[in-house]
Amino acid sequence: MATETVEFAPAKVNLTLHVTGQRADGYHLLDSLVVFAEVGDRVTVAPAPALTLSITGPQSSALPVSDDNLVLRAARLMGVGAAITLDKVLPVASGIGGGSADAAATLRALSRMTGQALPDAAAVLSLGADVPVCLRGQALRMQGVGERLDPVPALPPAWLVLVNPGVAVSTPAVFRALTRKDNAPMPQAMPRLNSAADLAAFLLMMHNDMEPAAIALQPLIGAVKSALSAQPGCLIARMSGSGATCFGLFADGLAASSAARSLQSHQPGWWVAAAQIRAG
């Protein structure tokens, strides 16, 4: 058995997010093109008699250890003792799947460490709607309440600048503020996109149905989106998930890095990261 196992927990970004309905039990139906970025948290696990969690990293102060932490909940599904360390880089509750990515990384790490199979799909979904897609960690089309995951044609190389202004947005409040919950889904067949410009053109025809409601609740999101749009080389700017993180899409890493440096210098209180979209 390995003494220590490390798993990367990449940021999840909803390039599109269509709210297409609501079930009788209250859960919302979604249709989303999800990608992952080369920036994220890191989960380290080691064999131990009991289950423990310590949280380090630049965002650790915003996430005190608690019994209902998603990392611990995921670990309990595996039923093993482990000393877990979470290096927290991504902002907490920010619309880029940090907690879900951490839970997924925990499952992968414990599976590798012990040789045990991953929990079944229903158990994984019980941790949260984003955990199944984060467990896969690749570009996918996510539908239903997060349980339906379909492959998409290979995406072209592209870079993201992620910006979070440090404000909290309640996902339930955003859902309550939606003007309609029966929006059209994405096209049945995803097109093959040959360049970052093609990807941006496709995204411009799609949307994030939660963005207007989130901006109405927290206008600073609109300011973040505008600041991203103003950066040279930004092909499209949009909110991810239920916010407050927004992304700008760029065709090359140099332009993305330059935009990130500019935004960070003008808004030192914002969390800013430039990262390539993960391939495969």
- Give 10-38 pLDDT, tens digit per residue: 999 999 999 999 999 888 999 999 999 99
Confidence of residue 279 (pLDDT cuts 50, 70, 90): confident
Distances (CA, A) of 244 to 7, 81, 166, 251, 272: 26, 35, 8, 23, 12
d(CA 74, CA 110): 10
pLDDT digits 0-9 by tens, 112-130? 999 999 999 999 999 999 9
d(CA 265, CA 48): 44
What are the start-end ranges of the H helices in the chain? 70-78, 98-114, 121-126, 131-136, 171-177, 196-205, 211-217, 220-229, 253-266
Give the per-residue pLDDT at 280.
65
pLDDT digits 0-9 by tens, 218-274? 999 999 999 999 999 999 999 999 999 999 999 999 999 999 999 999 999 999 999
Q: The tokens 């932490």 sit on which residue?
A: 69
Domains and CATH numbers, the chain: 5-150 (3.30.230.10), 153-276 (3.30.70.890)
Stated pTM of the model:
0.96
Tokens read off for 132: 């199944």
What are the start-end ranges of the H helices in 5-93? 70-78
**Rg (Cα) of the chain, in Å, rounded?**
18
d(CA 230, CA 243): 19
Over range 57-74, report the average pLDDT: 94
Instruction: Count CB neighbours of 23 within 10 A.
Output: 10
Judged against a pLDDT cut of 60, whether residue 196 lies above it is answered with yes
pLDDT digits 0-9 by tens, 120-170? 999 999 999 999 999 999 999 999 999 999 999 999 999 999 999 999 899
Average pLDDT, the chain: 96
d(CA 127, CA 26): 17
Tokens read off for 43: 């989960």
Distances (CA, A) of 28 to 98, 100, 155: 20, 18, 27
**Could you tell me what percent of the chain has a pLDDT over 90?**
94
Output the CA torsion sign for 61, 65, 70, 75: positive
Judged against a pLDDT cut of 60, whether residue 86 lies above it is answered with yes
Confidence of residue 2 (pLDDT cuts 50, 70, 90): low
Active-site residues, by number, are 12, 130
Residue 163: burial class (beta carbons within 10 Å; 0-12, 13-18, 19+): buried
